[in-house]
């Protein structure tokens, strides 16, 4: 069958559902929760229920957003799939067209849920189903360098005892559980790093504070402390053996699957900014009909074309990475390419839109200034742009992390 | 050799090639050969010498539109894999080595161009009814071929694809008599060197704002104006020239080299030199009414043709940018400074990562525009964006390719300086290869 880069009708219908949610649930409360930082958006409880219904109703409703998983390969020629990864990307793009902060705080759609989906065994999958799981990796002294985390877990009878501090935990206060990454043996480096599901209310788990942020204020970002926190040994996700790179491979696997989703978030917010900017500039006579020769067009019109081309590039790179995951193709490089590109152009687009719209762009009557604040995090979390470039470069150049630091 | 004999000989070579067998593509190759023979039988021995207008069939022959699945899919078809593999081999084994000499000589060597026969490009471009082997029009396949050939050398790729672009335009929009007059010539042993002449010499040149004029005359039109950066100025016998007719509407005219008032001169440029760029001067050139492509109505397809050629440029740019990427990876990994490979440093490694990212962006935007064109969907917006992005990134990749080799990139010992010059064309060229 011929090469085709259009979205199928099924997925387009699905994306449209997500768009409705973004337009009718997120947009009306977008500014409210930007101002009321740390206040729980109660409207989302209703949404979570609706999404559960959608998920049960259709193969993948909007509820499937954030639940991307790697599809197994059968080796033999099989039907090309447009599956859960593409659905997650398209759905998240639409939700973030509505509001990035709110999309991040939809109950039961946490990053921890993605980790569980990627590495949990069957029993764990059952046990943690329906839980809202946050993810805790970053520490005050270990950001991009997640292999050097200091949080420890030691086996004591039927429990692991976890000690350490985690920062930038999205939904850290609101989630039912937190997937905490800790090392079983600091001397073994990344091979000993494992994910543990720590349920809320476990003695020794404490939310220390919530951060005030530049953007995505609707999303709570917590600092948590674990002090002799005992979790059942069966809460260690995946394989407990300290094998070469096994634990860390789990982190990486989670990120291979979620990077395109973060890229999609960036595309969504940039799309919102570009769309609104086009509306506002149209009233000033700037029309983008792709008719003018680029160098004869008004500078503002030409700039809109340029931004749109970059956005389209980010969108297609992201779809490609998700399509590869849906079809069982290794996509670590492509996922990082998509994240790097989408993160940087998404941020650049929202900032340029602020500038193009002048006072309407910078003032709080429009959402443009908010989008420009929200978009910045997408070039940072789940691997900064620079970390993505490192991953891409190492793959291209055949370098280890010791050679290309 | 008769048309059928010639078709058979070319396609048998493709189908029987050991190489094709080795890469597991024998079956698609055989299917193509079988179609080709049917086409040649249909044509019979219609080919005659000279450009006499032939009455031929009363309806123009067109290629069909391939059916697409309602599904996002980046997997090339077996046929596309076969043709890409073959094109890549020609690019690697023949284009790359000949590129510097061809650039210096401003001419594509005949012995290199004959290597392209294994690709059977002309045969797939021309419908069976007119003696070719084509049954479907595939801008995607055309883009894939352009990318693969430009990996070897963009100038030689342009020289090779320029006549195919004219054929694609004739097949898509030509009238029955234009097709019957010209298309069989392209299948002959000597071929028919042909090129689009769309560029004009003024700064800020715009194909939708032409200075070349076609004024109505007694039995046709009189053309007056100048065209620049025309490929194959050395050899082309047929040009597809853009000119505005009354009401400022752009139209396309088939102009033969030996028509009175036509002057073709070599006019080498910064790059793409192997394609023998030149100027075309039209001093009151009289053409028949039948020289008007599609015999009128060019206003309807002119934009589409410009867009299809822009997709061609994007694809060529992608191929050359891929050449840059592969070259800098190998060179920089092997280049040591301060006691270790320079690729151990982020400043170098990140530049290379960015080349890969922007290159893939170019490729995907190009493929999307091409696939929409192939499916009969509107593709003007997608082409506009692909062209804009490709122009910007091509120049960036070209300049970073030289930068990454430092002083060595600036001298002709390495190909990156040539790619730098070739990639600078992407933002300004029009015409070239209509996919």
- Quote the pTM value: 0.92
C-alpha closest to that of A203 among A219, A237, A226, A178: A226
Q: Is B347 on the interface with A (CB under 8 A)?
A: no
Reference A338, options A307, A371, A304, A313; nearest CA is A313
| Of A139, A310, A369, A382, catalytic | A382
Spell out the domain ranges in chain A: 9-119, 132-235, 246-397
Using alpha carbons only, what angle is made at residue B320 by residues B317 and B324, rounded to the nearest 5 degrees?
Answer: 130
Last residue of a domain, one of B266, B298, B330: B298
Question: What CA–CA distance (Å, rounded) separates A294 from A312?
Answer: 17
Token pair, residue B361, equals: 């962006």
Contact between chains at A6 and B356 (C-beta distance less than 8 A): no
Does any domain span residue B428? no
Scanning the structure block, which residue is given the tokens 């940087």? A344
**DSSP tag of A22:** I
Range of the domain at B280: 195-298
Contacts of A136 (CB under 8 A, 6+ apart): A166, A169, A172, A178, A179, A180, A181, A224
Domain end marker among B166, B189, B212: B189
ipTM reported for the complex, 2 dp: 0.92
Q: Are residues B285 and B252 in the same domain?
A: yes
- From chain B residues 215-274, the ones with a CB under 8 A of any chain A CB are none
CATH of A246-397, one of 1.10.150.130, 3.30.160.40, 1.20.140.10, 3.30.465.10: 1.20.140.10
Q: Report the C-alpha gap between A386 and A144 in whole angstroms.
A: 9
- If phi over 0 gives left and psi between -120 and 50 gives alpha, with beta otherwise, what is residue B317? alpha
Tokens 């030199």 locate to B273
CATH of the domain at B408: 1.20.140.10
- Taking only the tens of pLDDT, chain A with its 405 residues reads 789 999 999 999 999 999 999 999 999 999 999 999 989 999 998 888 877 776 655 444 444 444 445 455 444 456 899 998 999 999 999 999 999 999 999 888 888 888 888 788 899 999 998 899 999 999 999 887 777 899 999 999 999 999 999 999 999 999 999 999 999 998 888 888 899 999 999 999 999 999 999 999 999 999 999 999 999 999 999 888 876 555 566 666 667 778 999 999 999 999 999 999 999 999 999 999 999 889 999 999 999 999 999 999 999 999 999 999 999 999 999 999 999 999 999 999 999 999 999 999 999 999 999 999 999 999 998 889 999 999 999 999 999 989 999
Report CB contact under 8 Å: B364, A6.
no
The string of DSSP letters for B242-293 reads EEE-GGG-EEEEEEETTSTTEEEEE---SS-GGG--EEEEEEEEEEEGGGBG
B151 with B100, same domain: the answer is yes
Beta-bridge partner residues of A41: none
Residue A127, SS3 per DSSP: helix
Distances (CA, A) of A265 to A20, A262, A359: 16, 5, 26
Tell me: do B183 and B203 sit in the same domain: no
Alpha-carbon dihedral angle through residues B336, B338, B343, B345, given to the nearest 10 degrees: 180
Please state, in angstroms and as integers, the Cα–Cα distance from residue A328 to each residue in A85, A248, B262, following that order: 11, 20, 58
Strand partners, B256: B238
**Best residue of A1, A3, A296, A311 to probe chain B, by most B CBs closer than 10 Å:** A3
Active site residue A37: no
Same domain, B227 and B140: no
Q: What chain A residue is nearest to B329 in terms of C-alpha separation? A: A397
Residues B98, B275 contacting (CB under 8 angstroms): no
- B220 with B329, same domain? no
Shortest distance, CA B160 to any CA of chain A (angstroms): 24
Which three-class secondary structure state does DSSP give residue B134? Answer: strand
Q: What fold characterizes domain A132-235?
A: Butyryl-CoA Dehydrogenase, subunit A; domain 2 (2.40.110)
Q: Which of residues 94-153 of B touch A (CB under 8 A)?
A: 138, 140
Q: Domain A9-119: state its class.
A: mainly alpha
Give, for all 435 residues of chain B, the pLDDT tens digit: 555 566 666 666 666 566 666 656 666 666 666 665 554 544 443 343 356 665 556 788 899 888 888 999 999 999 999 999 999 999 999 999 999 999 999 999 999 998 888 788 999 999 988 889 888 889 999 999 999 999 999 999 999 999 999 999 999 999 999 999 999 999 988 889 999 999 999 999 999 999 999 999 988 999 999 999 999 999 999 999 999 998 889 999 999 999 999 999 999 999 999 999 999 999 999 999 999 998 776 667 999 999 999 999 999 999 999 999 999 999 999 999 999 999 999 999 999 999 999 999 999 999 999 999 999 999 999 999 999 999 999 999 999 999 999 999 999 999 999 999 999 999 999 999 999
Indicate whether B430 belongs to any domain.
no
Q: Are residues B243 and B157 in the same domain?
A: no
Q: How many distinct structural domains can be found in chain B? A: 3
- Residue A9, classed as helix, strand or coil, is helix
Q: Token match 């764990």: residue?
A: A124
Task: Identify whether residues B102 and B128 lie together within a single domain.
Answer: yes
- For chain A, say whether B346 makes contact (Cβ under 8 Å): yes
Q: Flag whether B432 is in a domain.
A: no
């Amino acid at each position: 069958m011929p090469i085709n880069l259009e979205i199928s009708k099924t997925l387009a219908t699905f994306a449209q559902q997500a768009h409705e949610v973004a337009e009718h649930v997120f947009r009306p409360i977008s500014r409210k929760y930007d101002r009321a930082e740390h206040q729980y958006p109660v409207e989302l409880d209703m949404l979570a229920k609706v999404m559960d219904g959608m998920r049960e109703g259709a193969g993948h409703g909007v509820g499937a957003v954030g639940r991307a998983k790697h599809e197994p390969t059968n080796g033999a020629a099989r039907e090309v799939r447009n599956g859960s990864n593409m659905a997650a990307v398209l759905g998240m793009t639409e939700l973030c067209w509505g509001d990035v902060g709110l999309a991040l705080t939809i109950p039961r759609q946490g990053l921890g849920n993605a980790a569980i989906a990627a590495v949990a065994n069957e029993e764990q999958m059952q046990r943690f189903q329906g839980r809202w799981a946050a993810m805790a990796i970053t520490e005050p002294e270990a950001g991009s360098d997640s292999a050097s985390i200091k949080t420890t877990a030691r086996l004591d009878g039927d429990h692991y005892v976890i000690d350490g501090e985690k920062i930038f935990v999205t939904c850290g206060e609101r989630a039912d559980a937190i997937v905490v990454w800790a090392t079983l043996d600091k001397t073994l480096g990344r091979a000993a790093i494992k994910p543990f599901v720590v349920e809320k209310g476990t003695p020794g788990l404490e939310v220390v504070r919530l951060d005030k942020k530049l953007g995505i204020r609707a999303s709570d970002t917590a600092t948590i402390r674990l002090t002799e926190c005992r979790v059942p040994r069966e809460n260690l996700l995946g394989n407990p053996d300290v094998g070469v790179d096994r634990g860390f491979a789990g982190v990486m696997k989670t990120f291979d699957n979620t990077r395109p989703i973060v890229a999609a978030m960036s595309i969504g917010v940039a799309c919102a900014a570009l769309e609104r900017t086009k509306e506002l500039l149209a009233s000033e006579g700037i029309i983008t009909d792709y008719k003018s020769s680029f160098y004869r067009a008004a500078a503002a019109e030409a700039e809109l074309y340029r931004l749109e081309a970059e956005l389209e590039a980010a969108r297609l790179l992201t779809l490609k990475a998700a399509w590869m995951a849906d079809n069982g193709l290794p996509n670590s490089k492509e996922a990082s390419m998509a994240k790097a590109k989408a993160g940087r152009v998404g941020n650049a687009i929202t900032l340029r839109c602020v500038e193009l719209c002048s006072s309407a762009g910078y003032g709080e009557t429009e959402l443009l200034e908010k989008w420009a604040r929200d978009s910045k995090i997408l070039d940072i979390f789940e691997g900064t742009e620079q970390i993505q470039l490192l991953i891409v470069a190492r793959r291209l150049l055949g370098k280890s992390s010791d050679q290309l630091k | 050799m008769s048309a059928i004999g010639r078709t058979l000989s070319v396609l048998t070579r493709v189908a029987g090639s050991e190489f094709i067998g080795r890469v597991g593509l024998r079956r698609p190759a055989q299917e193509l050969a079988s179609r080709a023979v049917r086409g040649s039988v249909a044509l019979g021995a219609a080919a005659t010498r000279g450009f006499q207008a032939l009455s031929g069939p009363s309806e123009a022959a067109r290629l069909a539109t391939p059916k697409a699945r309602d599904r996002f899919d980046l997997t090339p078809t077996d046929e596309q894999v076969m043709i890409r593999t073959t094109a890549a081999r020609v690019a690697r084994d023949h284009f790359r080595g000949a590129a510097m000499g061809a650039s210096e000589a401003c001419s594509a060597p005949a012995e290199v161009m004959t290597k392209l026969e294994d690709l059977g490009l002309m045969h797939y471009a021309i419908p069976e009814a007119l003696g070719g082997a084509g049954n479907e029009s595939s801008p995607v396949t055309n883009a894939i071929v352009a990318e693969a050939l430009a990996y070897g050398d963009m100038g030689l790729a342009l020289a090779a694809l320029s006549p195919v672009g004219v054929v694609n335009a004739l097949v898509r929009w030509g009238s029955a008599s234009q097709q019957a007059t010209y298309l069989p010539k392209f299948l002959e042993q000597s071929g028919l060197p042909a090129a689009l002449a769309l560029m004009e010499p003024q700064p800020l040149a715009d194909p939708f704002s032409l200075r070349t004029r076609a004024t109505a005359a007694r039995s046709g039109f009189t053309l007056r104006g100048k065209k620049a950066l025309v490929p194959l100025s050395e050899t082309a016998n047929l040009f597809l020239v853009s000119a505005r007719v009354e009401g400022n509407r752009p139209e396309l005219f088939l102009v033969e080299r030996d028509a009175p008032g036509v002057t073709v001169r070599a006019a080498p440029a910064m790059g793409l030199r192997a394609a023998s760029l030149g100027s075309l001067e039209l001093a009151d050139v009289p053409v028949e009414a039948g020289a008007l492509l599609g015999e009128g109505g060019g206003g309807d397809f002119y934009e589409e043709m410009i867009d299809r050629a822009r997709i061609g440029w994007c694809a060529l740019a992608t191929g050359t940018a891929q050449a840059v990427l592969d070259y800098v990876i190998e060179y920089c990994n092997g280049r040591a400074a301060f006691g270790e490979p320079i690729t151990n440093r982020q400043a170098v490694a990140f530049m290379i990562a960015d080349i890969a990212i922007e290159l893939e962006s170019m490729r995907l935007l190009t493929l999307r525009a091409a696939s929409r064109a192939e499916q009969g969907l509107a593709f003007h917006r997608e082409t506009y964006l692909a062209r804009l992005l490709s122009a910007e990134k091509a120049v960036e990749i070209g300049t970073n390719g030289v930068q990454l080799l430092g002083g060595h990139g600036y001298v002709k010992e390495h190909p990156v300086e040539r790619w730098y010059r070739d990639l600078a064309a992407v933002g300004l060229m029009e015409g070239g290869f209509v996919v």
